[in-house]
Chain A
Amino acid sequence: MHPAPSVIIFTTFSGLGFGLLAWMGLGIPNVGGMTLLAFFVIAYVLAAGGLLVSTFHLGNKKNAIYAFSQWRTSWLSREGVASVVTLLLFGLIAMARIFMGAEMAFSGVIGSVLALVTVFTTSMIYTQLKTISRWSQPLTPILFLLHAIAGGALLAGQVKIAGVLLAALAVVMWLHWQQGDARAANRGTLGDATGLGHLGEVRMFESGHTARNYVLDEMVYRVGRKHAQKLRMIALGAGAALPAAILLLTPAGHATAFIALALHIAGAIVGRWLFFAEAEHVVGLYYGK
């Protein structure tokens, strides 16, 4: 699949932002006043900024308001609704906590749940696609949710919890690749796709078009597969294993937490790029690819 920068930035950073909000809803970190305001600003910039960036790849932005209308059937629409509701609720919670000193414990818990629901709806946009067997597995939502709560814990300064969650993330990343490889290998042949397998071995004689087209550009993107193994090691090492080791094995401090955060974000971006770039769409079979 074509790894659109807007979608990579959106899923990575808004995931982090909603992950941080999920912790803040529970009153973690336990701060107040201007410090709390700063935390809310960071979470908002990440979550809302990511959502804003996601609109950059739309072909026809003027109709964007309709995207909130089909929540009964569409995961993308559900994501839009969930993210707006979550951000509005946290806006109220932030004002009450910062300016009135209210605890907002109950609505905070609801906000945390909604933040995680938002990340879940994002993951389901990809998990629902039967055409991309690498994505359509139960581990995909777990991968997205772990990214969010582990990165969120790191941002919220919960270093030991973040360390444990990042270690779990490393395991889930590896399992997701193993499952994904097995599923992708099973997606069939040109003979299956054309229904001509009974005539013998099927190969492409001539494509339907000599020029590139939308389908090829968007869904038969194969550059990512060349260095997939190396990029996986970078994503797993920088995104999860190394920061987990730093957080769990070194004494807690701002410097180590910052290094762990920088590594995690860089690794998460590589991992998310690869998530798209190496995914095989079943339509590639018709092109013999």
Chain B
Amino acid sequence: MTALPSKTDKKLGLVIDLDTCVGCHGCVTACKGWNTQNYGAPLSDQDAYGADPSGTFLNRVFSYEAQQSGCASQTVHMPRSCLHCEDAPCVTVCPTGASYKREEDGIVLVNEDRCIGCGLCAWSCPYGARELDREAGVMKKCTLCVDRIYNENLPEEDRVPACVRTCPAGARHFGDLGDPDSDVSKLVADRGGFDLMPDLGTKPVNKYLPPRPKDQLETAPLNAVADEPKGFLGWLDKALDKL
């Protein structure tokens, strides 16, 4: 079971546009909501209303600043979740067969009825995409909303992962990255989509689109309007100093 399939029929995954993401964390909230009420054990919180709250999330948004020397810095919001790698190390290290990659669509899932919560899969993941749920004691990870995308009880427009459906900026795209003619594959080709940490050999399916180049301001920052108060304000300043 924990052997990886030699090939998958589809490579379902996400394409995340770092140029468009505004870092609102809407995807984080939508993910937590859907995955707490559906597939598998709920994503628990510990001490949720206390002094030291923490909890399990499958998707988190990090914000970074990039700066060339002498230029203005650029803020980049980077959502991170499971990349559904083709060579997923989290699958092969699993001793119980709980961690597996589906042959039909390439989604990496955890069978919670077999998971012993040893945490080795999380150690093997370079991306911090797996979190052990402290309440259920089983490993949680992005399911690519496997219970939405094939769910015929939902209207068709809702049959995408919750994070994609909710993104107000349109920064998240879902599709088959194994099909070169799919919209997501074309997007990756057009925008130069890239893999996270490709040298670790995980071959991620999810791609990130780099921020578009920004123009730089050629003008100097504005001077301060008034350093020293003059006139009435100058008198008031001195008078107050003397008080």
B208 CB to nearest chain A CB (Å): 6
Query: What total of chain A residues lie within 8 Å of the partner, measured CB to CB?
Result: 57
The residue of chain B having its C-beta at the shortest distance from the C-beta of A76 within the complex is: B95
Chain B interface size range: 35 or more
* A contact patch SS: mixed
Contact partner, B132, options A192, A200, A214, A286, Cβ 8 Å: A214
Does A242 make an interface contact (CB < 8 A)?
no
The residue of chain A having its C-beta at the shortest distance from the C-beta of B56 within the complex is: A214
The answer to whether residues A66 and B98 also contact, given A60-B138, A286-B62 and a CB cut-off of 8 A, is: yes
A163 CB to nearest chain B CB (Å): 36
**CB <8 Å contact, B123 and A206:** no
Q: Which residues of A contact B63 (CB under 8 A)?
A: 204-206
Does A34 make an interface contact (CB < 8 A)?
no
Q: Which of A11-19, A21-29, A129-137, A149-157 contacts B (4 or more CB under 8 A)?
A: A129-137
Q: B162-182 toward A: CB 8 Å interface, digit per residue (1/0)? A: 000000000000000000000
Q: Which residues of A contact B127 (CB under 8 A)?
A: 283, 286
The residue of chain B having its C-beta at the shortest distance from the C-beta of A4 within the complex is: B119
Within 8 A of A (CB), among B95-131: 95-98, 113-120, 122-128, 131
The residue of chain B having its C-beta at the shortest distance from the C-beta of A67 within the complex is: B95
CB within 8 Å: A-B pair count: 197
Q: Which residues of B contact A60 (CB under 8 A)?
A: 115-117, 136-138
A286, B138: Cα distance in complex, Å: 24
Does A266 make an interface contact (CB < 8 A)?
no
**CB <8 Å contact, B93 and A74:** yes
Q: Which residues of A contact B200 (CB under 8 A)?
A: 130-131, 282
Within 8 A of A (CB), among B60-95: 60-69, 71, 73-76, 78, 80, 89, 92-95
Within 8 A of A (CB), among B6-62: 18, 23, 28, 52-57, 60-62
A51 CB to nearest chain B CB (Å): 13
Q: Which residues of A contact B98 (CB under 8 A)?
A: 63, 66
Q: Which residues of A contact B64 (CB under 8 A)?
A: 190, 194, 196, 202-205
Q: A159-201 toward B: CB 8 Å interface, digit per residue (1/0)? A: 0000000000000000000000000000010111111101111
**CB <8 Å contact, B95 and A70:** yes
A73, B101: Cα distance in complex, Å: 14
Please name 4 further chain A to chain B contacts, defined as beta carbons within 8 Å, in addition to the given A67-B116, A70-B1, A214-B56, sorted by A numbering. A63-B114, A128-B93, A196-B210, A283-B125
Residues on A close to B: CB < 8 A? 1, 57-61, 63-64, 66-70, 72-77, 80, 125, 128-132, 188, 190-196, 198-209, 211-215, 218-219, 281-283, 286
